[in-house]
Amino acid sequence: MQSARNRATVDTVALRDYLHDGRNLWEQRCSIISILMKEPAFNTPGKEFKSRSERFKDGLAKTKRLYELVDEHGWTTMHVTFAVSAMGETLPINLHNVAFEPVLLSQASKELLEQYSDLIIQRGILGCYLQTELGHGTNVAALETTATYIPETREFDIHSPTLTSSKWWVGALGKTATHGVVQAKLILPDGTDVGPHLFFVQLRSLENHRLLPGVITGDIGPKAFGGYACVDNGFARFDHVRIPRWHMLSKFAQVTDDGKYVKPPHAKVSYGGMLYIRAGMVTNAGWSTAKAITIAIRYASVRRQGSKGPDGLELPVISYPSVHVRLLPILARAYVFIELGRATTRAFMEMSERLARGDASLLAELHAMTSGLKVLCSTTSVQDLESARRSMGGHGYSAFSGIAKLYADLVPSVTYVLNLNLPSLNEPHPSCSSYEGENYVLDQQVVRAALRTFTTLISCAKTQSQDKLNELADSLPPSSIYLKRLLPGPDKRPSEPPVLSEASWADPGVLISLLEWRAALLVHEVAQTTDALEATIYQRVSKAVTEAFVAGRVGEMLVLLNEREIGPKDKEVVKRVYILYLLTTIESSLTDFLSFGLLRLPLRDPSSSGSLSRDPTRGLRLAIARLCEDLLPEAIGLTDAFGFTDWELDRYSVSRFIMLMLMAMLSALGVYDGQVYKTLWERAQTEPLNQTEVPDGYEEYIGPMLRRGQRLARGAKL
Amino acid sequence: MQSARNRATVDTVALRDYLHDGRNLWEQRCSIISILMKEPAFNTPGKEFKSRSERFKDGLAKTKRLYELVDEHGWTTMHVTFAVSAMGETLPINLHNVAFEPVLLSQASKELLEQYSDLIIQRGILGCYLQTELGHGTNVAALETTATYIPETREFDIHSPTLTSSKWWVGALGKTATHGVVQAKLILPDGTDVGPHLFFVQLRSLENHRLLPGVITGDIGPKAFGGYACVDNGFARFDHVRIPRWHMLSKFAQVTDDGKYVKPPHAKVSYGGMLYIRAGMVTNAGWSTAKAITIAIRYASVRRQGSKGPDGLELPVISYPSVHVRLLPILARAYVFIELGRATTRAFMEMSERLARGDASLLAELHAMTSGLKVLCSTTSVQDLESARRSMGGHGYSAFSGIAKLYADLVPSVTYVLNLNLPSLNEPHPSCSSYEGENYVLDQQVVRAALRTFTTLISCAKTQSQDKLNELADSLPPSSIYLKRLLPGPDKRPSEPPVLSEASWADPGVLISLLEWRAALLVHEVAQTTDALEATIYQRVSKAVTEAFVAGRVGEMLVLLNEREIGPKDKEVVKRVYILYLLTTIESSLTDFLSFGLLRLPLRDPSSSGSLSRDPTRGLRLAIARLCEDLLPEAIGLTDAFGFTDWELDRYSVSRFIMLMLMAMLSALGVYDGQVYKTLWERAQTEPLNQTEVPDGYEEYIGPMLRRGQRLARGAKL
């Protein structure tokens, strides 16, 4: 490992500061972690062996201690975020922090805030966000829970009329939350249903945590792969629960005392929360990928197998092309997603500021952008985690390898939708529609937005002057810039895709242009299709559009990189990492590039003339292989730059596992053998099954089974 | 559900008999299951909540009861196989059955069999197979464990010289097995290392199950995603353990009393076992996929969401193209893999019979064939399980959806290799080599075999007469038949890929030809590449070659189908299922087909002339969309034909979950509501966290946390 580390030339400190957005933030993060490391609540061993009930309780212990630490050290919200992310465990309190609190603070009336905002901010009450129902996903228009206004008592009657209206999947609802924001159809006294609105409902007594009358909740049971073990995703039914009128979140829409509905000033003002969560998902995808690839690259640098190298030892597996050509692109995606998450959060902040001033102009753009990013980042990072785990071969299937737990916690990001249900964006295309509950819904919305912009642009190209068209083209938001490729240039000549040479593969400008062309041509293809659509087209188009958008952002990252305090050699390495991202993005959708003739190469291999034609994708693939080989010596340095402490990785028992592997290798050379053996022995002893030499079940099952067989074998011999 | 079932026209009974290889086998299977269903040991509730230690013990209880049932009912080995597969749980005894027993029975000496065969067959001893080591995968040449012959005592000394030589991952070793077959380097008295051989070693006392002196074993801990929970994968170190000379598995190679090594008659005779396991993996992939797709299709037929249909209810989600275009191809793969597994097992049987007569002529073919199939089937089925789970949207993330457990148990099939280490097949290509530990190793071997046949064929084409060439072409084994495409036809004119029309997509002959052409052109591409290879080429070629082979088998299945007792309409449906398999196989590798110009269409959309070109993949994609729509009414019938009992699916709590969803839908119509509510309530109550209204941890953590926040909120107000 040390020799792999020495081979890297990059300045890991400078890169670390770059990835963490500056030295100051990095140091604050370190100070938080150094405190957590010493806390018993954050150092509970044997997580892999615990039941879910035990894990849930451990999570509560962490949460309690976390807020004690806030008091002791005066931590800010940002510090809490650092701490939560470093402990690597999803806790029920996260739902309070990312959904309940922001929704309430941004949408509650003055009176409600007057009474509750301090309790919410200080977590004197714990909240959850009740949207999904047993029979209904994020298509909030179909929700069945009702909130009927009773003018006589100035109350809402919250009710679950059917089993399918049971709230389901709600994080922290099962056992933890005292209050919740309930999404329910608002029914006026005259019976009019004015659609889903949000209501603040107390669920449990603050005296003894028992359920309030009419509220039935519980935990919905364990999750796939053992994911989200600490979170009490719950169900709830409401049996005519009454809440005061002012408990409706009525900053925008409201109901008057006598039951008149007052419309919100703008239909879209209440959708900021979901966008905030989506923006966070990009960042989370980046750092989850970073953690998994740190584990996988370290393991692959230490694990030796197969042919002998010049040092007489078997080669580290990372030196095999089949291994590093999988791992380095994952590393590149982690680098891109971390920066992308930062850019998306910035865009969200700007939109929020405008929205607060009643300006919703950026909402549609941010909606389309984050829909696509949510799909792309969740799908890609989940897949990358599993690829990283599998690259570790047999040992990757051990729970101690750590990546499986990351996967179990990240994989629901693919199937929860965070849909906004903006009706104008949601009409399904007749032959190609999807249902909510997965990423496919969001794909639709990306395509719809793209088609709208495309249509505007084309009709403008037909009817308006070139100047007008140029103006329109220049005003395209970042998510639509790729469509410019279809327009004639300022010189009125039609644009054309780049002609490729070997040098193209090292030129980010060409790669970005290719990705934009592919998106533009696919949108054009859908737009001109008036008959049947093939069933996967929305997925393809959405991916293409989003990848074109991200390519544009990578272009920006390359510009911004020049302004950062990093040495020129390091900039060159990061630049190559970004180029690897672009190359492998193209590789993963070669079908599109070939279909639209975007890989036309001027050069032909002379040896193949007359013979069967050579593979046109070879140039790109070779460029990837070479770039990976090129970056290989920097692999450990580039992962070190993520800055994960041993403590963070230890939480997954990983660095210890890697340490063991490393020492095991050394032990083959006769070094440190005694100590390795002792450490490994200790680790194995923690497995509960190893607490006895003869397992529980021997007397009852194994023994009788063996004696039966021995009896039969004797009989068979007679 | 009933209405979806009524819509199907297929005769599910006839198809069920087809999938189960005849009515007789189906009925035997049913009789086994009807017995298991009534057994308490096979009906333990709450699996999702149990710790691994409890799951392990439950597994032992099942195993003991299973063999009692064997005695009570006189079950054959086949019946036991039915029972093990129906209970849907991987048990330690499986390792005895699929590895320990066949290896010993086929490779042990007469003396060893004389003493142990009955004990092994009756399970009076329980065995495991110790190959993998902590530092070494299936590259057995690198194993470090030694077996040194001591002529003085006529014993072998089994020893683990290093930590990395610790046997690791061995199923049933940790706590269950009494004996094992140990793979170790055989060291002769003069110090010569003659490479890995197999040795029969007792691990635990048959009196009290305690470890024998010099043997150190234990469980290696939990697996990723909670998979293989009942199996005690273990580690072992041997400290100079002595075994008698005749405990070496010496049917082929042996050591004489005075320490001379006697070579085996044929180096390859001992590799049958791994091929047997690989053949079984194809079948297992088929039935696992069948189970997952039964769950997913039933759920998608019952779950309603989105737009309203003609009946005024929301549409069942399966009616959305984005859903059924994912699910039906998975169904098709289950159909193909089940038949393919049967064909592979037949091929294995034939090879074994020949091998028993000393004829190893089929070994290389079966090795290449099963290497490719192992990679293809494991990769595909694992991916299909996860796609099926995700198609269930949010509810798919519940452990109760059942597919996650299937995935956790199937996913290691991707990373264990079952490599044979035939040295002649293993030399890595310098720029493109892989390491053992994953499917990539097997890809290499497939490519190597393909290149060898290609080279023979091409040199023959250059130097031999057309008759000679025809003869050679006709003698090609099934795994290489695709290479014929590169040869001139009997009329000496060069063959050409088919020209496609819309009708091509319904013609299995054309589709098979396309898949064979693609494999042939890719092998040709690699063969003519003398400089750098791109890093993923082995994967691409291996996939292409294996898919061409499977396409050929699908062609055979279509022929055999005609001889089966199924009505003509049903045959037509199954034929379309097979065509869907071929179409989606092409779709998944469109890049290859486009790269080698195999999708050239004669027709051009006239509307696009002069404009930007249309997508050449559109025809294929539309054909898939249409075929899926076509098969949609049969979906429930085709999954019913797999014949899973409610009991089998109930083991994953799935049918109960689906039942709840179904009844929940009905309940929205006001039917059965009381009962649903009661059932759901009972189900939720089994969650341990729901055993108390106020959770364990409230007094200790939640309460203090809330009081802290309330205190701070009060303070903030002052």
Interface pTM (ipTM) of the complex?
0.89
Cα separation, A320 vs A331, in Å, equals 16
Let me know: does B549 contact B454? Beta carbons within 8 Å. Answer: no
Burial of B495 (0-12, 13-18, 19+ CB in 10 A): middle
The pLDDT of A635-663, averaged and rounded, is 68
Stated as kind and residue range, the H or E segment containing A113 is helix A110-121
Residues in a beta bridge with A217:
A236
Cα separation, B563 vs B568, in Å, equals 11
Q: What's the distance, Cα to Cα, between the start and end of chain B in Å?
A: 61
Q: Is the pLDDT of residue A470 over 80?
A: yes
- The nearest alpha carbon in chain B to A305 belongs to B435
Q: Is the pLDDT of residue A265 over 50?
A: yes
**pLDDT number for residue A118:** 94
Cα separation, A411 vs A399, in Å, equals 16
Strands B155-159 and B241-244: antiparallel
Q: What are phi and psi of A180, to 5 degrees?
A: -150, 155
- Sequence-ordered strand ranges (E) for A203-333: 215-219, 234-238, 241-244, 254-255, 261-262, 304-308, 314-316
Nearest to B397 among A415, A615, A705 (CB): A415
Interface test with B, best of A58, A116, A163 (most B CBs within 10 A): A163
Residues in a beta bridge with B148:
B157, B187
Length of chain B (residues): 718
Let me know: does A156 contact A243? Beta carbons within 8 Å. Answer: yes
Q: How is residue A103 written in tokens?
A: 């929704």
Lowest-confidence range among A5-19, A192-206, A296-310, A386-400?
A: A296-310
- The nearest alpha carbon in chain A to B428 belongs to A307
Cα separation, B434 vs B443, in Å, equals 9
Burial of B239 (0-12, 13-18, 19+ CB in 10 A): exposed
Using CA atoms, how far residue B608 sits from A525, B611, B614, in Å, is 10, 5, 7
Query: Cβ B323–A594 below 8 Å, yes or no?
Result: no
Report helix angle B568-587 to B12-19, nearest 10. Answer: 60
Nearest to B57 among A315, A404, A697 (CB): A697
Nearest to B320 among A163, A435, A688 (CB): A435
- The nearest alpha carbon in chain A to B210 belongs to A694
**pLDDT number for residue A211:** 94
Percentage with pLDDT > 90 across chain A: 49
Q: Is the pLDDT of residue A309 over 80?
A: no
Query: Cβ B437–A305 below 8 Å, yes or no?
Result: yes
Interface test with A, best of B143, B429, B615, B710 (most A CBs within 10 A): B615
**pLDDT number for residue B403:** 87
Q: Note every long-range contact of A117-122, with CB atoms under 8 Å and residues 24 or more positions apart, other chains counting.
A: A118/B712, A118/B713, A118/B716, A118/B717, A119/B709, A119/B710, A119/B713, A120/A96, A121/B713, A121/B716, A122/B708, A122/B709, A122/B710, A122/B712, A122/B713, A122/B716
Give residue B341's identity as a one-letter amino acid code: G
Largest CA distance in chain A: 103
The pLDDT of A560-566, averaged and rounded, is 90
**Smallest Cα distance from A443 to chain B, Å:** 11
CB < 8 Å to A213, chain B: none
Q: What are phi and psi of A173, to 5 degrees?
A: -75, -35
Cα separation, B192 vs B167, in Å, equals 23
- The nearest alpha carbon in chain B to A617 belongs to B595
Q: Is the pLDDT of residue A652 over 70?
A: no
Cα separation, A432 vs A444, in Å, equals 9
**Smallest Cα distance from A341 to chain B, Å:** 24
**In 3-state terms, what secondary structure has residue A308?**
strand
Strands A215-219 and A155-159: unpaired
Residues 6+ apart with CB under 8 A from A701: B57, B60, B61, B63, B64
Report helix, strand and coil shares of chain A as percent, to nearest 5: 60, 10, 30
Nearest to B615 among A325, A404, A595 (CB): A595
Strands B234-238 and A167-170: unpaired
Read off the DSSP letter of residue A549. H
Nearest to A63 among B118, B416, B701 (CB): B701
**pLDDT number for residue A650:** 57
**In 3-state terms, what secondary structure has residue B184?**
strand
Query: Cβ A591–B693 below 8 Å, yes or no?
Result: no
Nearest to A224 among B398, B521, B594 (CB): B398
CB < 8 Å to A375, chain B: none
Query: Cβ B438–A390 below 8 Å, yes or no?
Result: yes
Let me know: does B661 contact B302? Beta carbons within 8 Å. Answer: yes
**pLDDT number for residue A509:** 97
Residue B436 designated active-site: yes
Strands B146-150 and B234-238: unpaired
Stated as kind and residue range, the H or E segment containing B130 is strand B127-130
CB < 8 Å to B52, chain A: 49, 688-689
Read off the DSSP letter of residue A271. G
**pLDDT number for residue B367:** 85
Question: Between B682 and A658, whose confidence is greater?
Answer: B682
Read off the DSSP letter of residue B198. E
Give residue A451's identity as a one-letter amino acid code: L
Let me know: does B334 contact B395? Beta carbons within 8 Å. Answer: no
**pLDDT number for residue B59:** 92
CB < 8 Å to A220, chain B: 398, 684, 687
Query: Cβ B389–A224 below 8 Å, yes or no?
Result: yes
Handedness of CA B451, B455, B457, B461 (dihedral sign): positive
CB < 8 Å to A658, chain B: none
Residues 6+ apart with CB under 8 A from B38: none
Question: Between A655 and B383, whose confidence is greater?
Answer: B383
- The nearest alpha carbon in chain A to B688 belongs to A53
Given A89, A339, A386, A436, the catalytic residue: A436
Read off the pLDDT of residues A333-392 as tens digits, 9 standing for 90 and up.
999 999 999 999 999 889 888 877 878 888 888 888 888 999 999 999 999 999 999 988
Residue A496 CB-half CA count within 13 A: 6
**Smallest Cα distance from A519 to chain B, Å:** 13
Nearest to A536 among B61, B137, B325 (CB): B325
Residue A217 CB-half CA count within 13 A: 33
**In 3-state terms, what secondary structure has residue A442?**
helix
Of the pLDDT bands very low, low, confident and very high (cuts 50, 70, 90), residue A607 is: very low
Read off the pLDDT of residues A568-587 as tens digits, 9 standing for 90 and up.
999 999 999 999 999 999 99
CB < 8 Å to A616, chain B: 595
The three-state (H, E, C) secondary structure of B353-415, written as one string: HHHHCCCCCCHHHHHHHHHHHHHHHHHHHHHHHHHHHHHCHHHHHEHHHCHHHHHHHHCHHHH
Q: Is the pLDDT of residue A165 over 50?
A: yes
Interface test with A, best of B68, B121, B162, B163 (most A CBs within 10 A): B163
**pLDDT number for residue A288:** 94
Using CA atoms, how far residue B113 sits from B109, B125, B217, B698, in Å, is 6, 13, 26, 62
Length of chain A (residues): 718
CB < 8 Å to B586, chain A: none
Stated as kind and residue range, the H or E segment containing A187 is strand A179-187
Cα separation, B106 vs B123, in Å, equals 17
**pLDDT number for residue B295:** 87
Residue with tokens 């195993």: B63
**Smallest Cα distance from A48 to chain B, Å:** 7
**Smallest Cα distance from B541 to chain A, Å:** 12
CB < 8 Å to A224, chain B: 389, 396-399, 401, 403-404
State which residues of chain B have pLDDT below 50: 419-437, 603-612, 651-656, 662-678, 680, 718
Let me know: does A293 contact A331? Beta carbons within 8 Å. Answer: yes
Cα separation, A76 vs A87, in Å, equals 17
Strands A179-187 and A146-150: parallel
Residues 6+ apart with CB under 8 A from B51: A49, A50, A51, A688
**pLDDT number for residue B704:** 87
Chain-centroid distance of CA A666 in Å reads: 38
**Smallest Cα distance from B564 to chain A, Å:** 34
- Rounded to the nearest integer, the mean pLDDT of chain A is 84
